[in-house]
Amino acid sequence: MKIDFHVHTQYSIDGLNKPKELIAKSKKLGIIPAITDHDSTEAHKFFKKGTFIPGEEITTDIGDLCALCINDLIPKKTPFLEALDKIKEQGGISYLPHGFDQIRCNIGNKFPIYAKKVDVIEIFNARCTDNKYNLDAKSFAKKNKKLMGAGSDSHFIFEFGNTYVEMPELDVNNSKQILKYLKNAKIHGKKAPIYVRGSTLMLKFLRKIKRLF
């Protein structure tokens, strides 16, 4: 089984992936996406149970935190430790995305005591412009004996499919199974083109302007 633990749709302020296109590509490639839109669970309704991992990328007070295997929205700007509690209340998995990326939220370096509290560390994010950030995440995970994951962080459909975690067959709605099989999972990662970051920032800016008017 192949799982991409970090995928966005058009319901993220900076995403363009249409659920219909993502579903089709997921089926074609045999890769299950974890839908982790920024502060939104709107896209979940388009996916059938068992074909995706319901999640969210929460903008906490100190940076980004992904919640996996959840159904109820965790509000934007929820304090980090409170967000961890809310994820546990839903029986979900806390997953630190791009936690050592110095260009994005850098929870791993700035708040290591908090990073140690998550269930899974993302050790490969396809959008990290410098692979050092991924290597730092991997080193932190090993040192602190944390489970490791990977995600394409795809916001555009062409990004999806190049990064995934290979695991035994499991129930993608069963957080305990996911955590169990992650212990011996194999990560496959391919970096995204550097220009996708700029394109995402531009899209985010334009959508913010549109909301103002």
Q: What is the pLDDT of residues 101-152, one digit of tens each?
A: 998 878 999 999 999 999 999 999 999 999 999 999 999 999 999 999 999 9
Per-residue pLDDT tens for 22-64? Answer: 999 999 999 999 999 999 999 999 999 999 999 999 999 999 9
In a domain? residue 49: yes
Domain that holds residue 127: 2-6+32-212
pLDDT at position 210 is 65
> 25 lies in a domain?
no
pLDDT band at 213 (very low <50, low <70, confident <90, very high): low
CATH code for position 132: 3.20.20
Euclidean distance between CA atoms 213 and 209, whole angstroms: 7
Task: Please report whether residue 186 resides in a domain.
Answer: yes
> Which secondary structure element, helix H or strand E, spans residue 68, and what is its range?
strand 64-68
d(CA 192, CA 125): 9
**CA 206, CA 55: separation in Å to the nearest integer?**
25
Distance of CA 4 to the CA centre of its chain: 8
200 in any annotated domain: yes
For residue 17, being part of any structural domain is answered with: no
pLDDT over 90 (residue 159): yes
State the pLDDT at residue 14. Answer: 80
202 vs 47 pLDDT, higher one: 47
What does each C-alpha distance from 43 to 101, 178, 205 come to in angstroms? 26, 22, 21
Question: What pLDDT score was predicted for residue 193?
Answer: 82
Is the confidence at residue 197, as pLDDT, over 80?
no
Quote the number of domains for the chain.
Answer: 1
Q: Assess contact for 98 and 153: CB atoms under 8 A.
A: yes
Query: Does 115 reside within a domain?
Result: yes
Mean pLDDT, residues 62-71: 97
Structural domain includes residue 106: yes
* pLDDT score recorded for residue 54: 98
**What percent of the chain has a predicted confidence (pLDDT) above 90?**
85
Whether residue 19 is contained in a domain is answered as: no
